[in-house]
Amino acid sequence: MVLSRLPVARVLCVVLMCFVAVFVLSGCEEKVYVFVNTEYTVSAECPPGCTNTKVDFGDGTIKNGTPIGNNRYQASHTYTTPYDYRQVKCSCDNGNTWHDKAKVVVMKPKMKLEIFGPLILDPNNHYSESRGIRVTAVDPRNGNTFPKFVGTVNIAEDGTSIYSQNGGILPSSITFTASDQGVKTFGVESLADAKVPFTTKPDPAKIKTTNYEVYGGQSLEVEQWVDNNGNGDVDWCEYWVLAMLSNYHTSGSDAEVRFITGLVTHVGPDIWEANTYGKMDWDSTRIKINPAATNHRLDTNDQLTMTVLHESRHVYQSWETNQNVGTDHGDGPDNDDDPRLFFPDGDRLPEQVTYTSANNPNGIQDGVDVGNGDGDHDDYSTVAEPAIEDDADEFMNNYK
């Protein structure tokens, strides 16, 4: 009989001691796991007539038991510090005799960090990359959600400095209340610059909790300059440039800018070349942008806008030079019907007079600065290319 009854009693104790430890004086001591800052209740049974019951919680706290009927008493305590374990004892006779009741392991929850929900680009804030981060307070032993967790969890980057750039957002803390049920979500917003101007996008941000350990031990990595639509281009840049083109094309006040931006049919692929803001391949209607070019991320000094306009102008120039005689756009002398504008290497020039931005290339010579005199375009091997660049710059400066 003894051999069969003892295991049953022990199983009963294990089952009942998950959150409320139940003790009988015959002895039933088990390890009990409780969370820090969470009320832990011990109940004990004493012989009939006991009135001076006590519980020693093992951390210097001794409380009187409160009768709850059927010769049972209970007391509650909240541990505020994690412990490997604390020996909890009960007394039915005012502390004259103590009975070991439980070894209580006081655990801190860990915080599980996950990206939650879709990436959102905010067109009202430079197409910032906004993400949800879900924090779940979990049992460090198994990762199960700890729904009773309340308190403040501090948040920081782990060795990275993504959200401190350009007015990005990372909350320094979040506070769990009872209604959160151990799960809370917060938002981050990134406007990080290139890691290396012109060539390298930013590394992923790493986010951690600082006053609770991260479950799994690894800080959460948050990719930057995401290509969510999978076409190879950085989304913030792609969508921003498309929006710029669309705005000019649909609501530009001037016919020239409306027409020219409407010729651009594709944006991308991104280019990542030193000192290169954008590119346009002749005979195409595609512009290529370098997201990492200096001042592109925030369009500082209208740099991204200028790159878009400049490359769009090249699309127009290409389109113009490929028109057959008689189908020119506009009504003036044109690169393909004015013999002055043919050059030995086959380069041609955009139409001169249809639009006000068009440059007058008459008289330009190889190696001579043209147009605005800034010296940028005088190092080409032909005389046509400086004029093409100068024309694109004039257009860009007119409409930026």
What is the spatial distance between Cα 72 and Cα 85, in angstroms, rounded to a whole number? 25
Q: Which is nearer to Zn ion, 39 or 273 (by Cβ)? A: 273
Q: Segment near Zn ion (CB under 5 A), from 142-150, 163-171, 198-206, 392-400? A: 392-400
Q: How far is the CB of 359 from Zn ion (least distance, A)?
A: 12
Q: Which is nearer to Zn ion, 233 or 389 (by Cβ)? A: 389
What is the spatial distance between Cα 298 and Cα 205, in angstroms, rounded to a whole number? 19
Q: How far is the CB of 356 from Zn ion (least distance, A)?
A: 19
**Residue whose tokens read 């939650």:** 116
Cα 330 to its chain centre, rounded Å, is 48
Closest to 111 (Cα-Cα) out of 156, 157, 146: 146
Give the other-Cβ count within 10 Å of 73's Cβ.
24
What is the spatial distance between Cα 184 and Cα 174, in angstroms, rounded to a whole number? 8
Q: How far is the CB of 230 from Zn ion (least distance, A)?
A: 29
Q: How far is the CB of 310 from Zn ion (least distance, A)?
A: 5
Q: Which is nearer to Zn ion, 206 or 400 (by Cβ)? A: 400
Q: Which is nearer to Zn ion, 299 or 389 (by Cβ)? A: 389
**Are residues 204 and 225 in contact, defined by beta-carbon separation less than 8 angstroms?**
no
Q: Which is nearer to Zn ion, 111 or 245 (by Cβ)? A: 245
Structure tokens at 384: 């046509």
Q: How far is the CB of 376 from Zn ion (least distance, A)?
A: 10
Give the other-Cβ count within 10 Å of 19's Cβ.
14
Q: Which is nearer to Zn ion, 162 or 306 (by Cβ)? A: 306
Q: Binding residues for Zn ion, how many (CB under 5 A)?
A: 2
Q: How far is the CB of 296 from Zn ion (least distance, A)?
A: 15
Question: Binding to Zn ion (CB under 5 A): which residues in 362-391?
Answer: 389
Strand partners, 67: 73
Binding letters toward Zn ion, positions 92-121, x by CB under 5 A: ------------------------------
Q: Mention every residue, 6+ apart, whose C-beta is less than 8 A from residue 247.
A: none
Q: Which is nearer to Zn ion, 233 or 390 (by Cβ)? A: 390
Q: How far is the CB of 313 from Zn ion (least distance, A)?
A: 8
- Residue 71 CA: distances (Å) to CA of 22, 67, 399: 13, 7, 88
What is the spatial distance between Cα 264 and Cα 208, in angstroms, rounded to a whole number? 43
Contacts to Zn ion by CB under 5 A: 389, 392
